[in-house]
Amino acid sequence: MSKTVALTGNLACAHAMRQINPDVVAAYPITPQTTIVEEFSTFVANGQVDTEYVTVESEHSAMSACVGASAAGSRVITATSSQGLALMWEILYIASALRLPIVMHNVNRTLAGPINIHCDHQDSMGARDSGWIQIHCENAQEAYDTTIQAIRIAEDNRVRLPVLVCLDGFIISHAIDRLDMLDDPEVKKFVGEFEPAISMLDPEEPITVGPFDGLHGQFFEFRRAQELATLGSLPVIEEIGKEYGAVSGRPYGLIEEYKLDDAEIAIVVLGSTAGTTRVVVDSLRADGVKAGLLKIRSFRPFPIKQITDALSGVKAVAVLDRSLSPGAIGAPVFQEVRSALYDSESRVPIINFIYGLGGRDVSMGLIKEAYTVLSDIVKDGQVKQTINYLGLRE
């Protein structure tokens, strides 16, 4: 049984945390994540959870304490944003290398400077190579559902990796949305009892965690093993998404296609902008334009086959990136989608639109503009400009 509620994305995440009732939460507040930890604090204060809640003095310590708690054999959740995620950077790599199933919300906010509290994906793109699974959510419902699935993905013995659940700052985190919540016992059953792969708390079986890898060590092999585990999580994310669908009626995959089957032009995007794009697709379709949308849910691991298959029939693609990599050939999502398509037979023309940095509003009109450029490419048979900017004041 589920119930329909109206909650902000952050409160939806906090409620998912309440229902999971993790052993340990170590977290530090930062806009726009703050209401997650505030709400969770009230659950602790009112005894609605019996989590050990560690109110650390920084995000660096938050992630450090999460590493200690997870290695000790407990189920751990945390949350951050932006500067906080950047401050954790060093420890993100250690958490994933130790193969600790920590789940963390990242409420996407740009990175200073200038200091700015609004949404873009610059922060989570900085965690791209950290060895964390990275899943992007479109709305509060997905943020709630993904939090619950993330526990299972992270703890799955075929995976054992930390998971970053990304939701767009303010757009998802602070907007009140309608969503369906599972009952507490359903969540409890779905996540199950945590059976840790390692524990530091059994004196009969002591373990050394985080040893020093000497000059002729195994570093390369460890990192490769981590890569294999990350790639191996692709079917697990799908499997758990399906299983969650059977319980909730909302199945999840690695990507989500919208009207792509017969589409000629397609936009690829992460996060909340997929919602806006879907509306634009509908309006273009009403005008007879064969537009489609590909939403990437799992950015790490990057589902290459699913993405190339989904785009195999289109004639022009635009990737919308909410981050900028100075000096690179386009932004990260574009780089990867283009790289994936390089090997495809069609070698469809592909362009990049960088948008929404520092919370710059992305309207339907702007997305329509992107589709118009794609239509022109199909018509003229040529790409005029590969890297483009939506909503930039020039």
Partner 1 sequence: MASLRELSKKKDYLTGGHRLCAGCGHSIAVRQVLLASEDPVVVGCATGCLEVSTTIYPYTAWKCSYIHNAFENVAATISGVESAYQALKRRGKVDKELKFVAFGGDGGTYDIGLQSLSGALERGHNMLYVCCDNGAYMNTGIQRSSATPKGAWTTTTPVGSVRPGKPRRRKDLTAICADHNIPYVAQASISHWKDLHAKAAKALQTDGPAFLNILSPCPRGWRHPSDQTVKMAKLGVQTGYWPLYEVENGVWKVTVKVRQPKPVAEWFKLQGRFKHLFAPGNEALLADLQADVDSQRERILARCESTQE
The residue ranges that bind partner 1 (CB under 8 A) are 23-24, 26, 50-52, 54-58, 60-62, 64-74, 76, 90-91, 94, 200-203, 206-214, 217-218
**Would you give the distance in Å from CA 146 to the centre of its chain?**
9
Q: Which CB sits closer to partner 1, 212 or 382?
A: 212
Q: How far is the CB of 36 from partner 1 (least distance, A)?
A: 19
Of 92 and 270, the one with the shorter C-beta distance to partner 1 is 92
Tell me if 81 sits within 8 A of 32, measured CB to CB: yes
Handedness of CA 107, 108, 111, 117 (dihedral sign): negative
Nearest-approach distance from CB 21 to partner 1, in angstroms: 10
Least distance in angstroms from the C-beta of 33 to partner 1? 19
d(CA 315, CA 357): 28
Cross-strand bridge partners of residue 341:
none
From the CB of 294, what's the least distance to partner 1, in Å?
38
Between 3 and 216, CB nearer to partner 1 = 216
Closer to partner 1 by Cβ: residue 209 or 364: 209
Residue with tokens 């399906």: 242
Nearer residue to partner 1 within complex by CB, 213 or 227: 213
Can you tell me the distance from the alpha carbon of 332 to that of 374, in angstroms, rounded to the nearest whole number?
20
- The DSSP secondary-structure symbol of 255 reads E
Least distance to partner 1 from the beta carbon of 262, Å?
A: 52
Residue with the two structure tokens 């709630």: 144
Structure tokens at 364: 């339907």
Assign 294 to helix, strand or coil. Answer: strand
Q: Where are the beta strands (DSSP E) in 75-122?
A: 76-80, 103-108
Identify which of 331, 364, 8, 388 has the alpha carbon closest to the alpha carbon of residue 169.
8
**Nearer residue to partner 1 within complex by CB, 214 or 326:** 214
**Closest distance of CB 67 from partner 1, Å:** 5
- β-pairing, 298-300 vs 291-296, is unpaired
* Residue matched to tokens 């919602």: 275
Nearer to partner 1, 28 or 299 (CB): 28
Rank residues 181 and 191 by Cβ distance to partner 1 and give the closer one. 191
Structure tokens at 274: 């997929």
Beta carbon of residue 215, minimum distance to partner 1 (angstroms, whole number): 10
Q: Is 318 helix (H, G, I), strand (E, B) or coil?
A: strand
In the complex, minimum distance from the CB of residue 390 to partner 1, in angstroms, rounded to a whole number: 39
Pair of tokens at residue 324: 């900028």
* Residue 73 DSSP class: T
